[in-house]
Chains A and B, each alone.
Chain A
Amino acid sequence: MSDKVLLAHGSGGKLAHEIIHNNFLSALDNPILNQLDDSAIINAEGKLAFTTDSYVVQPIFFPGGDIGKLAICGTVNDLAMVGAKPLYLSLAFIIEEGLPIKDLRKIIASIKETADEAGVIIVTGDTKVVNRGSADRLFINTAGIGIIPPGVNISGHNAQPGDAVIINGTIGDHGIAVLSQREGLGFTTKLESDCSPLNGLVAEMLEVSNAIRCLRDPTRGGLASTLNELAEQSGVSIRIEEDKIPVREEVGSACEMLGLDPLHVANEGKLVAIVDAEDAEAIVARMQKNQYGRDAAIIGEVQEEHPGRVVMKTRLGTSRIVDMLVGEPLPRIC
């Protein structure tokens, strides 16, 4: 057997059968997936949440994770951000021919591990192999279904003046960890991506409070873009304090060196919660007991005037507008 993925592996013939059985089915084994019919058949009752996302990260292995872990966490987290309990995921691979089989195996193992941790099962999947140059090593798409418990109403439209803004930990870890893997940036770091499934944390937060109004994961575009989206959707302004936002020292100094703003750097295991100020401290205390919320903090508040605007009190005591990221965050030349 070849040690690389070949075009023929995606042809639907014997080789395709082999790659699916030997790699995917053996690892992800569960009764629904094992049926191998054209669609998965599942039972679900209640209000359903349904989401999808595609993952194209480069490099596909990075400190603290890989594209497989990311593909599970991203979709699990999107479900968790509307308060849903994630249950079932689909998994589709687009593979550039030549990908080493051992890399594929590693990624599938990581998918299995992450899915187990999040308590979701992969119920359906697909694999395509494309010509060299038609994809960049590996692209993954996942879609997910979850159930929203009765009484939970979480949406980006719900923020109200007076609410508190919470983050579950340090920002920018994922973006800087991935960037540090690119050649020629001239810095090395022990930093790891924060990539993690947050549904457990959200479930615990919902136990403490029924006044969680908005949840959102600040992935690409960073905290700044998420806060702007929420301010816009809810027609409020958000005021945050630079001093209160947790940033690792390595992230801070890498950002200084590269001319990036930590507020614009991507996260994969972070959530922003906007909650009734009265419950805020109890929620944060509970979050801090969870491994993914240890550095949780209240970072600001929701205000009425200047709807749509996000303002930050800087460490110097001055104020400035916090804008959405436009385009890609690019290291400076000078």
Chain B
Amino acid sequence: MAIANDFRRSELVAGLVRSINQHATREARFMEFCGGHTVAILKNGIRQLLPPAIALTSGPGCPVCVTDNADLDKAIALARLPNLIMASFGDMLRVPGSSSSLQEARAAGSDIRIVYSPLDALELARTNPQKSVVFLAVGFETTAPGVAASVLQAKKEGLKNYYILSLHKLCPPITKVLLDSGEINIHGLICPGHVSAIIGSNPWQFIARDYGIPCVVSGFEPLDILQCVDMLTQQVARKEAKVEIAYKRSVTPQGNLTAIKIMEQVFQPAPSCWRGVGKVADSGLVLKPEFKDFDAELNFDFDPGPTKTQKGCICGDILRGVKTPQECKLFRKVCTPMSPVGPCMVSSEGSCAAYYHYGEEDVR
């Protein structure tokens, strides 16, 4: 069986590569929005299969990386409060803020726990009724429904010690800002798979319609990505711009209606700060007024201190797709996953970490 599958796979790969080569009649640059795609592309050496006319650029799609220093500082200041447990995804701990990180705060005595889901944080709140538990809610549309569900559950149970610090961000609005900036010149968008599984492919329609840029939603398997690149290349060759799905097993045009409903029940859009971009209207999520008792920002007094940026780190430019990690003077020399200077080197989906681990050097 395994051999038949391998054979079938190499046939499919060869077919897609042939088609991409055939249709790549002019130069085209595609941006993969999602950090998960950046990792998959490097890990599978997908660039080695593409003709020179097709270039791939990384985008802003790593929720850890786009979190602004000012927001990280808020999380760190909150975590330092007495009688408080901060619950966070593991990736966030090592990300440097203006002058410290959650990891440093933890070493200095703050009670910070790594959790795998907001439900773990909810459980912490139940088992530690004498303490406040704050869940550091980082992520795109993918994680927001789960966090919304945890807030609803806390309300139902009458939990008075569960809070979230909502740093949620929304993908379509930031894409619009990047395109409007005129800084990037792309001919196709590889739309994020997990995000689109929630919101559907329809929210990307404006990019095809208003900017004339083809959009294809992709999964994370190498074959998904090749299929996506093939579909984009074909649209470019035919001078079309429409939204297609190369990840039909998980994504529909309408998305996951239950998840969207629960997200809209609990959250409302708000301005949000993106690393390297600044404040973007309606690109974040805050709790609706009826859930304000769960909002950590409204219920605690804390001082995040002055915001500073990491000297020499060009994460902001990388997230906007303007520069690549190799163009950073600190890359590999000063900044490594062991001692990261910026978030793109910390996160498992950060571009700098992906380039560091999987290299672009000639490995053949």
- By a beta-carbon cutoff of 8 Å, the part of chain A in contact with chain B is 182-186, 243, 256, 259, 261, 311, 314-321, 323, 326-328, 330-334
A316–B42 touching, CB < 8 Å: no
A256–B363 touching, CB < 8 Å: no
Q: How far is the CA of A314 from the CA of B140 in the complex (A)?
A: 30
Known pairs A323-B359, A334-B34, A334-B349; list 9 more (Cβ under 8 Å).
Answer: A315-B6, A316-B44, A317-B13, A320-B45, A320-B363, A333-B349, A334-B62, A334-B139, A334-B143
Report the minimal beta-carbon distance from A117 to chain B, rounded to whole angstroms.
30
- From the candidates A185, A259, A320, A327, name the one contacting B42 in the complex (CB within 8 A): A320
- From the candidates B39, B222, B357, B363, name the one contacting A315 in the complex (CB within 8 A): B222
- A256-B221, A321-B358, A334-B194 are contacts. A184–B119 as well, Cβ < 8 Å? yes
A-B contacts, 20 of them at CB < 8 A, read A183-B117, A183-B120, A184-B115, A184-B120, A261-B43, A314-B44, A315-B9, A315-B44, A316-B222, A316-B226, A319-B48, A320-B42, A320-B363, A321-B361, A326-B337, A330-B90, A330-B91, A333-B139, A334-B34, A334-B139
Q: Give the chain B neighbours of A259 by CB distance below 8 A.
A: 36, 39, 348-349
Q: How far is the CA of A311 from the CA of B10 in the complex (A)?
A: 20
A256–B220 touching, CB < 8 Å: yes
- By a beta-carbon cutoff of 8 Å, the part of chain B in contact with chain A is 6, 9-10, 13, 34-36, 39, 42-46, 48-49, 61-64, 89-91, 94, 114-120, 123, 138-140, 142-143, 192, 194-195, 220-222, 226, 337-338, 348-349, 356-359, 361, 363-364
Q: Give the chain A neighbours of B48 by CB distance below 8 A.
A: 318-319
Q: How far is the CA of A313 from the CA of B2 in the complex (A)?
A: 17
B91–A320 touching, CB < 8 Å: no
A334–B63 touching, CB < 8 Å: yes
A316–B43 touching, CB < 8 Å: no
A319–B138 touching, CB < 8 Å: no
Report the minimal beta-carbon distance from A312 to chain B, rounded to whole angstroms.
9
A185–B117 touching, CB < 8 Å: yes
Q: How far is the CA of A184 from the CA of B63 in the complex (A)?
A: 19
Residue of B nearest to A321 (CB): B359
Q: Give the chain B neighbours of A183 by CB distance below 8 A.
A: 116-117, 119-120, 123
A317–B61 touching, CB < 8 Å: no
Report the minimal beta-carbon distance from B337 to chain A, rounded to whole angstroms.
4
B117–A186 touching, CB < 8 Å: yes
6 tightest Cβ-Cβ pairs between the two chains A and B: A318-B45, A184-B117, A330-B90, A326-B337, A318-B48, A321-B359
Residue of A nearest to B363 (CB): A319
A314–B222 touching, CB < 8 Å: yes
Q: Give the chain A neighbours of B142 by CB distance below 8 A.
A: 333-334
Q: How far is the CA of A243 from the CA of B337 in the complex (A)?
A: 28
- From the candidates A182, A321, A327, name the one contacting B116 in the complex (CB within 8 A): A182
Q: Give the chain A neighbours of B194 by CB distance below 8 A.
A: 334
Residue of B nearest to A306 (CB): B363
Residue of B nearest to A318 (CB): B45
Report the minimal beta-carbon distance from B322 to chain A, rounded to whole angstroms.
22
Q: How far is the CA of A61 from the CA of B205 in the complex (A)?
A: 49
Q: How far is the CA of A146 from the CA of B62 in the complex (A)?
A: 49
Q: How far is the CA of A296 from the CA of B48 in the complex (A)?
A: 31
Q: How far is the CA of A261 from the CA of B44 in the complex (A)?
A: 12
Q: Give the chain A neighbours of B337 by CB distance below 8 A.
A: 326-327
B13–A316 touching, CB < 8 Å: yes
Q: How far is the CA of A314 from the CA of B356 in the complex (A)?
A: 18
